[in-house]
Chain A
Amino acid sequence: MALDPAVDLLPALLDSPFREGYVSSIVYVSLYVSVIAVSLSTLVSVPVAIVMGFVDFRGKQFVKSVINTGMGFPSVVVGLLVLFAVSNQGPLGSLELIFTKEAMIMSQFVLATPPITAISLAAVTGVEGNVRDAARVLGGTRLDVALVVIKEARYGIATAVLAGFGRAISEVGSVLIVGGNITSSDGISKTRTLTTAVQLEARQGRYETAMVLGAVLVAIVLLVNAVVVRLGDTGGMGR
């Protein structure tokens, strides 16, 4: 009796660790979400760090402790809060963001902002006072002094951004909650990231796929860490 090739091929296709476009679409979603979240976070964090490094205001210590607490904030709780915000009854319900990449970007933004701000702040306050004074006595405006500080702290700020990226891309709890780990019917990732995919594949016993995805994730994280270490070691890659 002849077998229906479609019936025959289906399990093989599902079992294969390299379904057409599956891995690459997951890598794409992971990078897309993390890069956008970290970019937005950088736009907020670095100016905040600079203002905090320059201006003394009441409650500054409190803001610092909030940022430091944020660095250790459990990601699943962040996911839960974002889920409430974007759910139908939530304040952002009308935007219909639930189980979308945009919701994942929101939660990763919340997670990446504290470490980027804290490490940038350390870098900015590490710029010696006499360098700031020099910029001012040489005729710099406040903006010029701020630019000098950014330039002097550039490697520390770059380290902060890469550390934030490391946190975002290897994060699993919140993206699982707000993204839903969804693929389309043809197996292409919609909101499935490397981390959530590894979790799912391992749970379903598809260890080869989990290993491949895990290896890709490790490679990305190692690459980012190598850049961080290099920046820290050499003070930069030429100037």
Chain B
Amino acid sequence: MIRLSNVSHTYGDGPVLEDLSMSVDPGEVLAIIGPSGVGKTTLLRVLALFVRPSSGTTELDGRAVWSVGESERLALRRRIGMVFQEASLFDASVVRNVEYGLRVRESWRERLRSQFRSVLGSNGTSEAVEEALEVVDLDDSLEQDADSLSGGEAQRVSFARALAYDPKYLMLDEPTSDLDPRNTGLIEDAIGTARERGIGVVVATHDMHQAERIADRVGVLLGDGFSEIGPTERVFEDPTDDRTRKFISGELVY
């Protein structure tokens, strides 16, 4: 479980997150919805152990992440995957991109050996890489250059890249905001597969219909923390918080 307790985070000109507490379990999909600029990306970066919050605690599977040593934190960080709004692929082939997470987990000796094998052209694609690309329906594009992919394909590769090393948690920062319906559908299916595999998924989105479609729980982030967080159906149909109701019905909250 990833648990944030009383987390606040400040960037230069003011607080982005204020006294926020939440948790994510393996095997659930939690959607974070809220207007732009409310701190969804920062929250995901905190959850991915990418950003150390200004105050509060971040726990992963019972360990206080920012109190442990660097090497243990790296090991904890490696239980989490993240997909950004932009695909951010490396200038290399699809397969090289997807296997990156596996490579960095190998020892230097193993990495040198596989580098050597790939120079000789005898480096087979690992099963995990093929499986991850199958999930996003791109298992026939292994050797394609990343920069020749369409935006939707690149984002799917980006998803496969985070899935390949079998993370326990997956943070998705508006993964479908620039995509067409077909690619959006494929990413949503992939999120479903991730959940079936027992991965805890947090997805930031401003598409409320998407949140309704894919999430077990929804957190509504409105300026100063969650106005509401709970089971998807309950939050959408019977919000207890007045601001949540206004946000969901499309009225301006602030």
A134 surroundings in chain B (CB, below 8 A): 84, 88-90, 158, 161
Does B112 interact with chain A (Cβ within 8 Å)?
no
B91 touches A141 (CB 8 A): no
CA distance A137 to B165 in the complex (A): 12
Residue of B nearest to A155 (CB): B91
- Taking a contact as CB atoms closer than 8 A, the residue among A130, A133, A140, A235 that contacts B104 in the complex is A140
Please report the total number of A residues contacting B with Cβ < 8 Å: 18
B165 surroundings in chain A (CB, below 8 A): 138-139
B89 surroundings in chain A (CB, below 8 A): 131, 134
Does B105 interact with chain A (Cβ within 8 Å)?
yes
Minimum CB–CB distance for A238 against chain B, Å? 10
Binds A, one of B13-21, B26-34, B73-81, B185-193: B73-81
Q: Which of A112-136 contact B (CB under 8 A)?
A: 128, 130-131, 133-136
Does B228 interact with chain A (Cβ within 8 Å)?
no
Does B50 interact with chain A (Cβ within 8 Å)?
yes
Given contacts A148-B90, A152-B91, contact A138 B145 (CB under 8 A): no
Q: Which of B38-82 contact A (CB under 8 A)?
A: 48, 50, 74, 77-78, 80-82
A203 surroundings in chain B (CB, below 8 A): none
A139 touches B77 (CB 8 A): yes
* Chain A residues with a Cβ under 8 A of chain B: 128, 130-131, 133-141, 144, 148, 151-152, 235, 239
Further pairs besides A137-B80, A239-B93: 5, Cβ < 8 Å: A133-B84, A134-B88, A134-B89, A138-B104, A239-B91
Query: 10 A-B Cβ contacts within 8 A?
Result: A133-B50, A133-B84, A134-B90, A134-B161, A135-B90, A136-B50, A137-B77, A139-B78, A151-B92, A239-B145
